[in-house]
């Protein structure tokens, strides 16, 4: 990781590496990367430059070509659904934690279709709160990255995905 790089760091989303700074923790001075979340400009995140434990949460952004390729091959209905609420929560938590784009898109498509089916049965039906939270989390993860890379508004990302993947 270098100063000026733009990366994705766990739940903080897209961050720009703005510096390297020595910090003292437990009487030991170590270098830390200074990250500025792109969509939360008031926040600053510090990540140890020597510890590998948090580096697993760091990944590079997809390129424009990778996004188009991913979305094009997502056509069809590859739903990720489990009727058991507890198992579904575990599965969706893992998908969001892993940040796998294919699984995130499939999860979003699954929950959007389930939401639509519920509305068709009764217009007052809604997703369970946990499913709605997972849907929002997955959309946030994808929308931030895709919007940043494609240079579009975050609100334009889901229509873009659905237009190119169904």
Q: Are residues 44 and 70 in the same domain?
A: no
Say what the pLDDT of residue 57 is. Answer: 77
Q: Are residues 81 and 140 in the same domain?
A: yes
Q: What angle do CA 141, 145, 150 make, to 5 degrees?
A: 145
* Domain membership flag for residue 102: yes
pLDDT digits (tens, 9 = 90+) for 74-131: 776 678 888 999 999 999 999 988 888 989 989 998 999 899 999 888 888 889 999 9
Decide: 59 and 8 in contact? Cβ < 8 Å. yes
pLDDT, mean over the chain: 89
* Domain membership flag for residue 1: no
Which of these ranges, 28-37, 46-55, 100-109, has the smallest mean pLDDT?
A: 46-55
Q: Are residues 161 and 81 in the same domain?
A: yes
Say what the pLDDT of residue 145 is. Answer: 94
Domain that holds residue 121: 64-165
Considering the entire predicted model, what is its pTM? 0.81
Give the CATH number of the domain where residue 20 resides: 2.40.10.170
Total number of domains in the chain: 2
């Amino acid at each position: 990781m270098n100063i000026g790089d733009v990366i994705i760091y766990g739940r903080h989303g897209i961050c720009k590496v703005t510096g390297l700074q020595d910090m003292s923790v437990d009487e030991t001075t170590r270098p830390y990367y200074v990250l500025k979340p792109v969509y939360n400009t008031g926040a600053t995140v510090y990540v140890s430059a020597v510890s590998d434990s948090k580096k697993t949460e760091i990944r590079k952004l997809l390129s424009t070509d990778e996004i188009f390729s991913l979305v094009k091959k997502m056509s069809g209905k590859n739903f990720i659904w489990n009727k058991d609420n507890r198992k579904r929560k575990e599965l969706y938590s893992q998908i969001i934690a892993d940040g796998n784009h294919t699984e995130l898109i499939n999860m979003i498509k699954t929950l959007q279709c389930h939401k639509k089916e519920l509305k068709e049965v009764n217009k007052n039906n809604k997703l369970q709160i946990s499913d709605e939270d997972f849907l929002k989390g997955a959309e946030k993860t994808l929308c931030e990255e895709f919007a940043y890379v494609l240079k579009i508004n975050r609100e334009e990302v889901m229509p873009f995905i659905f237009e190119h993947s169904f």
